[in-house]
């Protein structure tokens, strides 16, 4: 993850890639994702080699990538992996919160209004845990299908 941030920062500063530019890009395709999966290890190895001469822009162009697209896919994949992890955690949290919901509803010490407020706060906690990833459904489905391969490639700290 840190490597991804450093590479994107090194590239984005001189090339002025804005968030608005990346937001307008079309969702990545399965073909692009397969190509990304194939090219990411060599790209990160070259970046980790430590050479000050390493130019991510030139490196990607030489491999027929548009650098903005490659880095956009890398960012989307990372974001998608984090979203999937959040979804997994949200399911576990939801089960625990369901138990708390039952305790609240069965409590003789709470009024109906207090119960409603507490349950609303539990529902809000579940929604926050799930979060909004902002990726297209098709991208999330691809990330979900290739999750194991992507997790092996990209070190995301959850």
- Residue 136 is encoded by which pair of tokens? 């297209």
pLDDT tens profile 60-76: 999 999 999 999 999 99
CA angle 42, 58, 48 (to 5 degrees): 40
Residue-wise DSSP of 83-133: HHHHHHHHHHHHHHHHHHHHHHHH-TTS-HHHHHHHHHHHHHHHHHHH---
Place of tokens 């590239």: 11
Q: How confident is the model at residue 130 (pLDDT cuts 50, 70, 90)?
A: low
Average pLDDT, the chain: 83
Over range 128-140, report the average pLDDT: 80
Place of tokens 């998608």: 80
Which tops the pLDDT comparison, 158 or 66? 66
What is the reported pLDDT for 2? 45
- List C-alpha distances in Å: 83 to 21, 55, 114: 22, 30, 32
Percent of the chain with pLDDT over 70: 79
Which tops the pLDDT comparison, 118 or 156? 118
- Residue 152 is encoded by which pair of tokens? 């092996």
Alpha carbon distance, N-terminus to C-terminus of the chain: 10
The rounded distance, in Å, linking the Cα atoms of 72 and 29 is 12
What is the reported pLDDT for 152? 93
Percent of the chain with pLDDT over 90: 56
* Nearest CA among 13, 17, 73, 62 for reference residue 40: 73
The rounded distance, in Å, linking the Cα atoms of 17 and 111 is 54
List the domain boundaries for the chain: 2-85+133-153
What is the reported pLDDT for 74? 95
């Amino acid at each position: 993850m840190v490597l991804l941030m450093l590479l994107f920062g090194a590239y984005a500063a001189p090339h002025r890639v804005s968030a608005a530019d990346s937001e307008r890009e079309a969702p990545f395709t399965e073909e692009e994702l397969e190509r990304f999966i194939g090219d990411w290890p060599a790209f990160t190895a070259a970046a980790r080699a430590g050479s000050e001469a390493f130019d991510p822009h030139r490196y990607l162009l030489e491999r027929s990538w548009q650098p903005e697209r490659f880095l956009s896919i890398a960012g989307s994949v990372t974001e998608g992996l984090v979203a999937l992890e959040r979804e997994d955690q949200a399911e576990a949290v939801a089960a625990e919160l369901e138990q708390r919901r039952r305790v609240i509803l069965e409590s003789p010490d709470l009024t109906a209004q207090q119960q409603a407020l507490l349950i609303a706060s539990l529902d809000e906690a579940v929604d926050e845990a799930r979060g909004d990833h902002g990726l297209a459904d098709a991208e999330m489905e691809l990330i979900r299908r290739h999750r194991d391969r992507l997790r092996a490639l990209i070190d995301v700290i959850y």
